[in-house]
Amino acid sequence: MTKTVQYDPKRLQDLFEAAAILRNGGCVAFPTETVFGLGVDATNVVAVQRAFEAKGRPSDNPLIVHLHSPNQMKLYCHSVPEIAHRFIEHFCPGPLTIVLPRRDSIVNLVTAGLDTVAIRFPKHEVAQALLREANLPIAAPSANLSGRPSATTWQAVVDDLGGRIDGVLCGEPCDIGIESTVIDVTREHPTVLRCGGVTLEQLREVAPNVMMHDSQIDSSVNSPGLRHRHYQPAARVVLIDSSPELRRILNAFDHHVRLAYIGIDRLPNSIESKFERFRYCDNEADYASCLFSFFRECDHLGIETILCQGVDATGIGRALMDRIGRASGD
């Protein structure tokens, strides 16, 4: 059992200590604008191994390498195509991860043996300060137990990984609440492997030929993470499309099932009382930012079934529907 130290990111001394742990091969979780990451030195195989072990993550699922400046890319990427520079100019720092040809300076375990490496420049100032101070490429998977919803608060990191990692830089809940968009620029057309904080529409404004990866058609594709179970709370997650469907589902449930609801539309008054917890979101962005923390809150309460309202799969709604779909085991 490791003691997980809670660092205050507002104290410079705490930031220095967290960076020193990373330089010495330790694991420190830190906030980003998307979700918390579990940082380790991407050039240290023992450190990377520890991150996989702490999460219980399958070793065929590669990690994202976090950098503070595009100038660092030449150390870790074999080449950086023009289109990658355009995406960086428009969206970085921010919630975009770019898959590029790799160099050997990043250990094989980080990239799960692929000949590419995923690079991201987080915007969050605590993440940036830590990356600058550590002055290393930091591999950081989301700081949750593998298969569980990502952690959007430091308390959620401690719930999942307390005693398994060296420290966590505390700080405010993450703004965006779902992970970065992953785009592969090593193919003929830039291809979105995971939708997230930067929308497909935004990417297409920069490059109209951006494609969306379709796992049904192309199962060989190099995003191994898509094969695994993801984002699942202990409660059953059920996606509902419309009010009539909501009533039909409710009628099918036993009275004693402990229910929760999250969505943009309010529940009809007549049925609200059947729900032990409900969260009405202002819009899709608000829905995305609180989805994972709502899942975790429901688990703490012992909720058995969470009904999630479906939204249009456009803009941030596309990433939201992806996460709800996976959480429901689709």
Task: Please give the residue ranges that form the binding site for ligand TXA (CB under 6 A).
Answer: 32, 34-35, 37, 61-64, 97, 99, 111, 114, 116-118, 120, 140-142, 179-180, 182, 193-194, 222-225
CB 97 within 8 A of CB 152: no
Q: How far is the CB of 226 from ligand TXA (least distance, A)?
A: 6
- Closest to Mg ion by CB, 259 or 291: 291
- Closest to Mg ion by CB, 148 or 318: 148
Q: How far is the CB of 74 from ligand TXA (least distance, A)?
A: 17
- Closest to Mg ion by CB, 160 or 297: 160
- Closest to ligand TXA by CB, 167 or 225: 225
Distance from CA of residue 278 to its chain's centroid?
Answer: 23
- Closest to ligand TXA by CB, 196 or 263: 196
Tokens of 58: 């399958």
Tokens of 167: 């420290």
Query: For the chain, first and last CA: distance in Å?
Result: 35
- Closest to ligand TXA by CB, 107 or 140: 140
Tokens of 35: 């979700």
Q: How far is the CB of 47 from ligand TXA (least distance, A)?
A: 15
Distance from CA of residue 90 to its chain's centroid?
Answer: 21
| Kind plus residue range of the DSSP H or E element containing 325 | helix 316-327
Return the SS3 of 133: helix
Residue 64 contact among ligand TXA, Mg ion, none, beta carbon within 5 to 8 Å by kind? ligand TXA
* Residue nearest Mg ion, CB atom distance: 142
Q: How far is the CB of 248 from ligand TXA (least distance, A)?
A: 34
Q: How far is the CB of 317 from ligand TXA (least distance, A)?
A: 18
Size of the site for Mg ion (CB under 5 A): 1
- Closest to ligand TXA by CB, 161 or 182: 182
**Can you state the percent helix, strand and coil of the chain, rounding each to 5?**
35, 20, 45
Region from 25-33, 67-75, 80-88, 142-150 binding Mg ion, contact rule CB under 5 A: 142-150
Cα gap 83→211, rounded to integer Å: 14
Instruction: Decide: is 142 part of the binding site for Mg ion (CB under 5 A).
Output: yes
The b/e string for 59-81 (b: 16+ C-beta within 10 A; e otherwise) is eebbbbbbbbebebbeebbeebe
Q: How far is the CB of 144 from Mg ion (least distance, A)?
A: 6
Instruction: Give the x/- contact pattern for Mg ion in 84-123, rule: CB under 5 A.
Output: ----------------------------------------
Tokens of 79: 């080449």
CB 52 within 8 A of CB 172: no
Residue 42 DSSP code: T
CB 225 within 8 A of CB 140: no
Question: What amino acid occupies position 219?
Answer: S
Residue 97 contact among Mg ion, ligand TXA, none, beta carbon within 5 to 8 Å by kind? ligand TXA
Cα gap 139→40, rounded to integer Å: 5
Instruction: Decide: is 4 part of the binding site for Mg ion (CB under 5 A).
Output: no
Tokens of 224: 């191994």
Q: How far is the CB of 66 from ligand TXA (least distance, A)?
A: 6
159, 293, 296 from 300: Cα distances, Å: 10, 11, 6
CB 121 within 8 A of CB 180: no
Residue 225 contact among ligand TXA, Mg ion, none, beta carbon within 5 to 8 Å by kind? ligand TXA
Q: How far is the CB of 240 from ligand TXA (least distance, A)?
A: 26
Which residues are near Mg ion by CB under 5 A?
Answer: 142
